[in-house]
Chain A
Amino acid sequence: EIVLTQSPATLSLSPGQRATLSCRASQSVDNQLAWYQQKPGQAPRLIIYDASNRATGIPPRFSGSGSGTDFTLTISSLEPEDVAVYYCQQCSKKLYTFGQGTTLEIK
């Protein structure tokens, strides 16, 4: 089973700042990595797939990068509505795994 490790666990930044979230896989997943945003009380929403492709309706301030084992989700200029938990996810050999999540707080 591929383990995804996210860092940091919590990130606290001000509006307008840049957020950088990391996801590391225990073995290569090529570029088959997705990111999800989950706001309090809501279902997760897909924001990035194939490591760097934005999902439908996702604003351009969200971007993804990386391949192999190291991936990054960047939010270029934080908005108050970006408060959420962000999860990375992959699927290998019919087993899906999620990272433990990064909580993004806005000061």
Chain B
Amino acid sequence: EVQLVESGGGLVQPGGSLRLSCAASGFTFSPYTMSWVRQAPGKGLEWISYITSASDSISYADSVKGRFTVSRDNAKNSLFLQMDSLRDDDTAVYFCARERRGYYLDYWGQGTPVTVSS
């Protein structure tokens, strides 16, 4: 069974940092492009980043570019999101998801909540 489990969320002050992790199991992690998607309270889905299997192509939404860094460790079946210079509007549930065929996301984790507040 494919499983994605996020962790690392929590409460952080504006300007602070957090590192999210996504542990993958039930499939061979290394060949897949992975994405991060977030959802602010009561709002819709917002894609924020993807990383290809060999980390040779990475993309970010404009809203997080220069502040967030995505990475992965294929040996540990793990995906990461380093979030720096956090702002109030980064408050959201953060989901990791597996990408297929360059555009759709076929498996999602349950999400980890991040609250940015003083």
Chain A residues at the B interface, C-beta cutoff of 8 Å: 32, 34, 36, 38, 42-46, 49, 55, 85, 87, 89-91, 94-101
Per the bound structure, the CA–CA distance linking A100 and B40 in Å amounts to 12
Let me know if A43 and B59 touch, CB within 8 A: no
Nearest Cβ in chain A — how far from B108, in angstroms? 4
Find chain A residues with CB under 8 A from B37 CB: 44, 96
Find chain A residues with CB under 8 A from B56 CB: none
Nearest Cβ in chain A — how far from B110, in angstroms? 5
Question: What class of interface size applies to chain B in its complex with A?
Answer: 20 to 34
* Secondary structure dominating the interface of B: strand
Chain B residues at the A interface, C-beta cutoff of 8 Å: 35, 37, 44-47, 50, 57, 59, 61, 95, 100-111
Find chain A residues with CB under 8 A from B59 CB: 94-95
Given contacts A32-B103, A34-B103, A90-B103, contact A98 B46 (CB under 8 A): yes
Let me know if B100 and A43 touch, CB within 8 A: no
Find chain B residues with CB under 8 A from A101 CB: 44-45
Per the bound structure, the CA–CA distance linking A25 and B96 in Å amounts to 25
Which of the listed residues B45, B104, B110 has the most CB atoms from chain A within 10 Å of its own CB? B104
